[in-house]
Structure 1
Amino acid sequence: MATIPENPLILVDGSSYLFRAFHSPPHLTNSKGEPTGAVYGVVNMLRSLITRFNPTQMIVIFDAKGKTFRNDMYAEYKANRPPMPDELRGQIAPLHKVIKALGLPLISIEGVEADDVIGTIAKNESAKGRHVLISTGDKDMAQLVNPHVTLINTMTDTVLDVEGVKEKFGIPPELIIDYLALMGDKVDNIPGLPGVGEKTALAMLQGIGSIEQLYQDPQKVLELSFRGSKTMPQKLIDNKDKAELSYQLATIKTDVEIALSGDEFSISAPDYKLLAELYTELEFKRWLAEVIKQGDSAPENKLDETAETINPEAADKVEKEYTCILDQAEFEAWLKQLNAAELIAFDTETTSLDYMKAEIVGVSFAIEENKAAYVPVAHDYPDAPKQLDRDWVLAKLKPLLEDPNKAIVGQNLKYDKHVLFNYDINLTGIKHDSMLESYVLSSVGTRHDMDSLALKYLGHKNISFEEIAGKGSKQLTFNQIPLETAAPYAAEDADITLQLHNTLWEKLSTSDDLVSVYQDIEVPLISVLSKIEQNGVLIDIHQLSQQSQDILIRLSELENQAYEIAGEKFNLSSTKQLQAILFEKLNHPIIKKTPKGAPSTAEEVLQELALDYPLPKVIIEYRGLAKLKSTYTDKLPLMVSSKTGRVHTSYHQAVTATGRLSSTDPNLQNIPIRNEEGRKVRKAFIANQGYKILAADYSQIELRIMAHLSKDEGLLKAFSQGLDIHKATAAEVFGVELDMVTSDQRRSAKAINFGLIYGMSAFGLAKQLNIPRNEAQKYMDLYFERYPGVLTYMEETRANAAEDGYVETIKGRRLNLPDIKARNGAVRKAAERAAINAPMQGTAADIIKCAMLDVAKWIETKTEGQIQMIMQVHDELVFEVKADFAEQASKEICQIMQNSVELSVPLLVEAGIGDNWEEAH
């Protein structure tokens, strides 16, 4: 590879960067729905360039708006190019601002292209002996290369000096214009010579020389042996005007008048304040963190709550008073202050993120901003100072932490509640949780971890765990970290939690509905979820082991089937090998491509191919079983706690956009129930001896919510009369009596009912029912004729969402829709579909959470320990109940769940009892 001289003048083809970034992933948008991917891509490339070469001088050059001198020369120049997309045009102004704020000179001159500005500077500076590096992906720039001018394509890491141009193109830089002129350019609409391509152009240039030499004696071309050489002399003569025009169009102008020169090409110091404003608006969090770390003041907050916001006062440097408590007297003094405080920010530092295994290493607390204390109790690195005894500290804190009248705030307090429970402390006074405050305020476009929230709302860059503990396999656990670094980190956690609460609570308090969702649903749910997680669930590891063996046999059978169909052995788990078999050997149609242009083998693609071909069907079954085995039948037995003999999942309140809970380790939401193997996994969830599994599930809850929200008379009537809603819909849509509805008609009506909830189009319905699109459209039209209230609801919801930027559940949970005004039609349509579905999913989430709270209260006060809640999955609650109490419990739970929230149609709960989850479901 060519060598690049140290500290060259770097000329960046900004327009080339811009289009390259726009068409490459990631296609980002901020929380307002504004595209930002091109800005991110260009700035990322510029940052990489600076990091790599550490230049003192660098200029970014862009095309100016409007026509250039080439359009005057040839009106059809670039006439074939489509207009710039709106999604790209809107990113140019913020990109220019960022570039200038980075301290980089930016040039854009009317009447010429970026190439011409680059060519002029390169010529002028290289003539002075200055080494120039041009960063571009444009092949036309090769004409500028000389002993002092080099090209670099950062995407391919290709560097072209004089020899590099010769090697790549087969001709020296001085013949590149001739080469481009002979071939022409369809993109720029440079005509070139008819019928002359790359090989012909090279043959003439290598055999004879430049265009000027070709025209000195066109007949010399006859001596060359390329295909078409016999007719080429006459072609040259007949098209001389085109050749000359093409030469002029392809020539980069090198005499543009440029105001900047010399020292004005130098990179200046970044404007960190302006960069912080811009990165805030664009929501580039990592770069914003870097800017804030520079120590400059943060910008004024000009954004709404859904965007990245910074509190300028909090971002200023404030003296922190963080204390590491190592003696009893100082601890007692702090304890006195804690007992007198109205609100205490509390946090634990532990040895593990697994709440069942975590041991307390220390605790921290704060009662006023910028002042906090850390009490280490179990740092055991060599030469660690003597610390207070853990049992003594926890015994002193126990009355405080168990006092229901003491208000505690934390960040993800459910975890701390678990950890304290391991030490026989019941954290009772949970008043606030900054993670949940953030989540209720905006569930979309925000990460709710403390570091992200501190950056967003306080303009503060937290000490990261990796900074003090290291990374990867060598990362220390907290007990191994020296106090001089551990104490500030731990104290900061408590301090920032308090600051976040003060900021977020002020924002939440502007909406009574949001306060209600937070205080009446999310905060009380912390204790309920903690109890469910502690209860855990018993599993039959022997059954799972047998199922793993059965799946292994079936996987082997499927492999052999696949080999037989393919006619050869291949790795079914290898995407590349599968692509080769499906699309090259078997010539299956390519339905969709990956971002890199390869044929997709995604699940939806295989589903479509499986309708016509046998191998995709085999692959689908193989993938499903392999995933089931690795995720559940193999893994679940390994997750049994040695302490309890049960499996303990983790429920997450602040993950989904709609308010639904998610679970991990294991993920209980994803166990398949539509196939035999998935149902067998549920069979392994069992009850203890003398107990039964009781499962209570809301029936068709989202359709009932749709009836409530739309107030459609037909739907309200059907549900109020207890009709089979899918049968009732079929009767309406197909115009038949209820008792005459066929199973196929009911199936179609079911697809319509659920499809509309998820914003399915006629095309999607046609695909699902395997019918023509016009027939699917007819079904949907008939549906809206019979249920006009649904159509009205959908239209009003779209309009309100576009105006407000959010939709709400019946409980007032707000679901922001940042893409509802996106310029990109596909993105906007997706947001509109979400606007219709989100109130139903969100309301369903609120209902199941309210039910959990009500059932938990009943269990605590009325059941004398005969039943415990052990799982929440989708719209279902699962219990382990004493066998002789199961029937009574079933009736009570159904009654509680059906009355947890009042709708204009009855809520229906179906319950089952069995020895395992599958039997009860």
Structure 2
Amino acid sequence: MMRRQVIKKRTQLEKFAKEVDLSQDLGFDTETLGTKIDRLQITSLQFHDRENKVSWSILTKESTFGEITLRDLKEVLNPILPKMKIVGQNLKFDLWVLKVNGLSDPILKDDTLILIYLADATIFTKALKERLHKDLSVPKTHIWGLDEKCTERSNEVFGLGIGSKGKPRSKKISWDFITTNWKAVTRPCPRYDLVVEKYGKTTLTDFWNNFLELSEDEEVCDIPLITEEIFIDYGLNDVEYILPLRDFWLAKLSPKQVKLYEEIELPFLKILVKALDKGAYIDRQLLENTGKKVKESLDKIEVQIYNLTGIHFNIGSSDQLAEVLYQRLGFPILARTDKGKPSTKASVLKDLNKTHPHKLLDLLLQRADLAALWSKFYSKLPDHIVNDKIHCQFNQAIVETGRLSSSDPNLQQVVNHKEYPVRDAFVPRPGYAMVVYDFSQVEPRILTHASGDPFLTEIYQNDRDIYQEIADEIGIKRSESKTLVLAIMYGMGAKSVSETLGITELEAKNYLNNFLAKMPSISKTRKSVEDAAKAAGFAEDMFGRRRPLNFHNKEDKNRALRQSFNFLIQGSASSVFKLSTIKVEEVMKKYNGFMTMFVHDEIIAEVPIKDVWKASLEMKEAMESTIALSVPLKSDGGVVKNWGDGKREITLSKQEVEELMTPKLSIQEIINLSLGYQCLN
């Protein structure tokens, strides 16, 4: 029978530290006041030892249920955490929580989120409670989240009474509500009926708006929304099933997938934790000042649009803009939306401006550009800055090809606008310099390696321009050559190529045929990959990463065949990139540097100024020696002043780097030194 031990005092914590069996894999989870960097105060830690049939819930002072302080956690747990072998779900978050709170890193044994992802990246729902229910048949009510448990209790706790339809009123309790009102919901909560009794009739909206204020009035408060029992049960229910879930998914991996998991994905997870903890350093003043300029330009353009049209309307409303353009001003309709309405997309307006040039269309396109810049970046990024840093979430287990995605905020979408460059605000922190390196054409190089094509191999081995050489060989422009290479890798047909290049479908078909005729080994490799995928039901990359495919009908089959060849290239490229970060991490450790961002095939790092030149050279070497292919890997970059310069390929020379180490004196400091010298004489 499972024993549950609740630890609320330091003496109990010390006993746990002596008794916990460090030879066992331990299920592990953390609970915090929130998920953002400034809300990561620990409310509880959960451990589960399956072999010894015991679970522990460590309750801190922050939870309101325990007395254990952060100092207690550090002094008692830090000596044993490095010996603990932990298993959890989405351990990137839990390891980050430990770092932020000054606790030692445990041994990362297994992460079920990564196991599920490797076993079947197409699984949409990887949430722990869903997987426990579907994979281990655990009843949903047994593993309800705290929000679900609280929603069930809401009518009882808040005394909301019966609604207009004769059913008990309940409030859907969100995580935001719980974390925002944590102290209020863990002690007796205000009841609606008692509030009405004391203060007179009031609306439910007013009740919720004044929730915190009412929580201070003991006369209208009754029972807690979250009791100690509910909180402990919620924390331990998940962690007690994590080891069986690990076993379930680990058994589904092939030997190659296990190797991929142990040698690439788990080490890369640790790198992501470190990058998340360090954060990207931001010049907030530059970001906000540039944002003001964007907003001012946007406002001026909108005034010009109103003056030109003679009407004040919501330019951001596609319906209102369509009415002004097509009905009031009589512009022809070039395209319609899926619902049959006249389209006002920027691409449509651009085409319209070619056939019917007009200052209004110029202004609308300028506004669309600036509006996107403002809404996506300059109005939102400042909200993510904490202590001059943005702590972006780089997501390891979402994209089916193995590539990273990012969120909160999405730094992969950050553009380097020519006039208002967002990336320029991403700078090194004081005492450090920024190093940026980007893999050059990693996917075409993998295509060349996988196909063994002699024409492409010879170009890369002699470090020549692959796109220009292909263009010269088949008689097209370099830009068209680049599109063809992408088309081959991504399975684009003649129609897509014709639309991209603005040529006829017949011309596009001839381009593709000429390309493949010159490089027949690509067609042979693609056929071989597609046949293997059909036989196995999944695509596989060079490292054993798999992507399940659907061959149910003709449409699915065609899509699956395109995906199989593309996955060989994209999946392999993702693994090469992750492997490169593992090698770069060794360079960073050597020079006390760290990586902060990973954007597509680009690594952004910071190194103390005194060592940055050596670190930069070794970082380039590490990336280019990641894996031995039939053609060399290549990375471009160097030491830069900011992330924007990295994109513009404006790198610092060795002399310029050395100048960074020379302290710059202000005018006042020079005057003070001069006065001091005069006094001495």
Regarding TM over 0.5, the answer is yes
Compared CA separation, residues 463 and 677, structure 1 to 2 (3 A): farther
Q: Distance in 1 between matches of 2:483 and 2:145?
A: 48
Query: In the alignment, what sits opposite 2:256?
Result: 513
Deviates more, 1:364-373 or 1:487-496: 364-373
CA deviation after TM superposition for structure 1 residue 514, in Å: 0.6
Matches within 5 A, 1:143-542: 322-326=4-8, 334-368=16-50, 372-378=55-61, 384=65, 387-403=67-83, 406-460=84-138, 461=140, 462-470=143-151, 471-472=173-174, 475-477=177-179, 480=186, 481-508=226-253, 511-542=254-285
CA contact (8 A) 2:588 2:607 kept: no
Could you list the runs of 5+ residues in structure 1 that have no partner in the other structure? 1-318, 735-743
Matches within 5 A, 1:899-918: 899-918=625-644
Counterpart of 2:542 in 1: which secondary structure?
coil
Matches within 5 A, 1:547-586: 547-560=290-303, 562-563=305-306, 568-582=311-325, 584-585=327-328, 586=330
The residue type paired with residue 503 of structure 1 is: F
The residue type paired with residue 868 of structure 1 is: F
Counterpart of 1:402 in 2: which secondary structure?
helix
CA deviation after TM superposition for structure 1 residue 816, in Å: 2.1
The counterpart of 2:335, out of the listed 591, 604, 616, is 591
Q: Deviations over 1:302-352 (max 9, x none)?
A: xxxxxxxxxxxxxxxxx8654434466765565455334420111111101
Alignment of 1:693 with 2:434, yes or no, is: yes
Could you say which structure has the greater relative contact order, defined with CA pairs below 8 angstroms and 6 or more residues apart? 2
Alignment of 1:631 with 2:376, yes or no, is: yes
Query: In the alignment, what sits opposite 2:418?
Result: 676
Counterpart of 1:887 in 2: which secondary structure?
helix
Q: Distance in 1 between matches of 2:352 and 2:118?
A: 42
Compared CA separation, residues 708 and 686, structure 1 to 2 (3 A): same
Q: Distance in 2 between matches of 1:571 and 1:467?
A: 40
Counterpart of 2:240 in 1: which secondary structure?
helix
CA deviation after TM superposition for structure 1 residue 559, in Å: 2.8
Query: In the alignment, what sits opposite 1:654?
Result: 397
Compared CA separation, residues 837 and 580, structure 1 to 2 (3 A): farther
Q: Deviations over 1:534-586 (max 9, x none)?
A: 22222222222222122123323443565567664432211322343455554
CA contact (8 A) 2:146 2:231 kept: no
The residue type paired with residue 364 of structure 1 is: Q
Counterpart of 1:695 in 2: which secondary structure?
strand
Matches within 5 A, 1:774-789: 774-789=506-521
CA deviation after TM superposition for structure 1 residue 463, in Å: 1.3
CA contact (8 A) 1:662 1:669 kept: yes
Q: Distance in 2 between matches of 1:465 and 1:355?
A: 21
Query: In the alignment, what sits opposite 1:795?
Result: 527
Counterpart of 1:399 in 2: which secondary structure?
coil
CA contact (8 A) 1:810 1:843 kept: yes
Compared CA separation, residues 760 and 554, structure 1 to 2 (3 A): farther
Q: Deviations over 1:502-546 (max 9, x none)?
A: 2112222xx111101111111111221111122222222222222
CA contact (8 A) 2:37 2:391 kept: no
Q: Distance in 2 between matches of 1:613 and 1:902?
A: 54
Q: Deviations over 1:20-45 (max 9, x none)?
A: xxxxxxxxxxxxxxxxxxxxxxxxxx
Deviates more, 1:696-705 or 1:560-569: 560-569
Compared CA separation, residues 363 and 754, structure 1 to 2 (3 A): same
Query: In the alignment, what sits opposite 2:218?
Result: none
CA deviation after TM superposition for structure 1 residue 760, in Å: 1.6
Could you list the runs of 5+ residues in structure 2 that have no partner in the other structure? 152-172, 187-225, 648-681
Identity fraction in percent = 28
Q: Distance in 1 between matches of 2:76 and 2:477?
A: 68
Q: Deviations over 1:275-298 (max 9, x none)?
A: xxxxxxxxxxxxxxxxxxxxxxxx
Q: Distance in 1 between matches of 2:346 and 2:136?
A: 42
Q: Distance in 1 between matches of 2:233 and 2:350?
A: 54
Matches within 5 A, 1:704-723: 704-723=445-464
Compared CA separation, residues 690 and 491, structure 1 to 2 (3 A): closer
Query: In the alignment, what sits opposite 2:565?
Result: 836
Deviates more, 1:751-760 or 1:630-639: 630-639
CA deviation after TM superposition for structure 1 residue 438, in Å: 0.7
Q: Distance in 1 between matches of 2:130 and 2:242?
A: 12
Compared CA separation, residues 409 and 733, structure 1 to 2 (3 A): same
Q: Distance in 1 between matches of 2:641 and 2:530?
A: 46
Counterpart of 1:869 in 2: which secondary structure?
strand
CA contact (8 A) 2:412 2:600 kept: yes
CA contact (8 A) 1:348 1:363 kept: yes
Q: Distance in 2 between matches of 1:900 and 1:468?
A: 48
Q: Distance in 2 between matches of 1:513 and 1:497?
A: 23
Question: Which structure's CA Rg is the greater one?
Answer: 1
The residue type paired with residue 76 of structure 2 is: K
Q: Distance in 1 between matches of 2:519 and 2:538?
A: 25
CA deviation after TM superposition for structure 1 residue 359, in Å: 0.4
Alignment of 1:853 with 2:582, yes or no, is: yes
Matches within 5 A, 1:875-914: 875-914=601-640
Query: In the alignment, what sits opposite 2:193?
Result: none
Q: Distance in 2 between matches of 1:630 and 1:359?
A: 31
Alignment of 1:728 with 2:469, yes or no, is: yes
Compared CA separation, residues 398 and 543, structure 1 to 2 (3 A): same
The residue type paired with residue 772 of structure 1 is: T
Q: Deviations over 1:366-396 (max 9, x none)?
A: 1118853322123555xx5x54455334532
CA deviation after TM superposition for structure 1 residue 665, in Å: 2.1
CA contact (8 A) 1:653 1:660 kept: yes
Q: Distance in 1 between matches of 2:343 and 2:136?
A: 43
Q: Distance in 2 between matches of 1:321 and 1:467?
A: 25
Q: Deviations over 1:466-486 (max 9, x none)?
A: 123442487223663321111
Q: Distance in 1 between matches of 2:554 and 2:361?
A: 33
CA deviation after TM superposition for structure 1 residue 702, in Å: 0.7
Query: In the alignment, what sits opposite 1:193?
Result: none
Query: In the alignment, what sits opposite 1:134?
Result: none
CA deviation after TM superposition for structure 1 residue 906, in Å: 0.6
The residue type paired with residue 178 of structure 2 is: L
CA contact (8 A) 1:913 1:919 kept: no
Counterpart of 1:339 in 2: which secondary structure?
coil
The count of corresponding residues between Structure 1 and Structure 2 is 576
Alignment of 1:812 with 2:544, yes or no, is: yes
The residue type paired with residue 109 of structure 2 is: K
Counterpart of 1:726 in 2: which secondary structure?
helix
Counterpart of 1:409 in 2: which secondary structure?
strand
- The TM-score, its normalising length taken from structure 1, stands at 0.59
CA deviation after TM superposition for structure 1 residue 659, in Å: 1.1
Counterpart of 1:444 in 2: which secondary structure?
coil
Query: In the alignment, what sits opposite 1:192?
Result: none
Compared CA separation, residues 400 and 380, structure 1 to 2 (3 A): closer
